[in-house]
Amino acid sequence: MNKSDKILVSILLTILIPILILLNFSSSSNLAIVYYENNEILKIDLKKAEQEYEVNGYNGIVKIKAGNGKIKVVEETSKNHICSKQGYIDKPYETIICLPNKIVIKIASDSEYDATL
Amino acid sequence: MDLRKITRISIMLSLAIVLSIVESMIPIFAGSIPGLKIGLANVAIMVVLYVYGFKEAIFVSISRIFIVSILRTGLFNITFFFSLSGAIFSLVFMFLFKKIKVFSIIGVSIIGSIFHTIGQIIVALIFVQNLNILYYLPIILVFSIFTGLLTGYISKQIIMNFDKNIDRNTKM
């Protein structure tokens, strides 16, 4: 590793680490939003008891389990099943991406939540 | 073309294919971040890039994507374009940064790793059309820096010990 390699790594980390800290520095939220492409197709109140939902993805039905403050994908049609292996998410801005199904699930931030009240 | 060169490039191609397949069987656990990979196949690509050059490396890289896709996930689906875009972005930027001779092979490998991620994200954005998928970009980029360091270091060791009597077109 020469000097410019070290400078490269330092610059990259200086940009990325603060972004990471900001993303993790947020309070809780109780709203999950499910998108197909850029369209909101489902809003789930996470304060309710856990319950299953089904939405239509690009490859077929995507089964979602949500409630008690968290949400996860239970079943979907894809080659690698990355999004159903991911498990629960519960923090604001946290996201589940079912790429082959064009489904994106995110937990809304508090400001977005307020706007829906 | 020199027979020894053909043989060596073929060996590197098979190595890249095997590394891709083996790697897809190793799950990486890092919190709940989806889709992380070390990118070991890039070791074979970098060796070809540094020992032979860009033409040979792009041949190995693209052939690898086609063969691995035929064997595992199928051609011309989203996973295929995802891999293809990552591979091309990564190699083009590694080639450019190798050319300007500012970084060592390790820096070039980090650049390759980062642009692999960026190439994939661009295809993902075009396909899903939802900006929320950028959420994992910062953490994946941090991960890329370290995997780039690792594969760069391995490539450096291999190239240093690569048969001394073949023509190198570059200095590390």
Residues B57, B45: Cα–Cα separation, whole Å? 6
pTM of the predicted protein model: 0.87
A93 lies in which domain range?
27-116
> Is residue B64 over pLDDT 60?
yes
For chain A, the domain total comes to 1
Decide if A10 is inside a domain. no
Chain B touched by A76 (CB under 8 Å): no
The pLDDT of residue A117 is: 45
Decide if A44 is inside a domain. yes
The pLDDT of residue B28 is: 73
> Is residue A112 over pLDDT 90?
no
For chain B, the domain total comes to 1
> Is residue B12 over pLDDT 90?
yes
> Is residue A116 over pLDDT 60?
no
Structure tokens at B152: 């760069």
Q: Name which of A109-113, B12-16, B32-36, B88-92 the model is least confident about.
A: A109-113
Interface of B with A in 87-146 (CB under 8 A): 102-104, 106-107, 110-111, 114, 124, 127-130, 132-133, 135-136, 138-139, 141-142, 145
* CB pair distance less than 8 Å for B34 and A87: no
Q: Which of B79, B149, B138, B15 is nearest to A58 (CA)?
A: B79
Decide if B171 is inside a domain. no
The pLDDT of residue A74 is: 94
Distance of CA A40 to the CA centre of its chain: 14
Kindly list the residues from chain A whose CB atom is less than 8 angstroms away from the CB atom of residue B126.
Answer: none
CATH number for the domain that contains residue B157: 1.10.1760.20
B37 lies in which domain range?
3-161
Query: How does residue A91 score in pLDDT terms, banded at 50, 70 and 90?
Result: confident
Decide if B56 is inside a domain. yes
Task: Out of A73-87, B24-38, B102-116, B132-146, give the one with best mean pLDDT.
Answer: B102-116
- The dihedral built from the CA positions of residue A37, B23, B168 and A8, taken in this order, carries a sign that is positive
Interface of A with B in 84-103 (CB under 8 A): 85-89, 93-97, 99-100, 102
CATH number for the domain that contains residue A65: 2.60.320.10
Chain B touched by A80 (CB under 8 Å): yes
Looking at this predicted complex, what is its ipTM? 0.85
Beta pairing partners, A40 = A35
Decide if A16 is inside a domain. no
* CB pair distance less than 8 Å for B135 and A94: yes
Structure tokens at A23: 């993303």
Decide if B170 is inside a domain. no
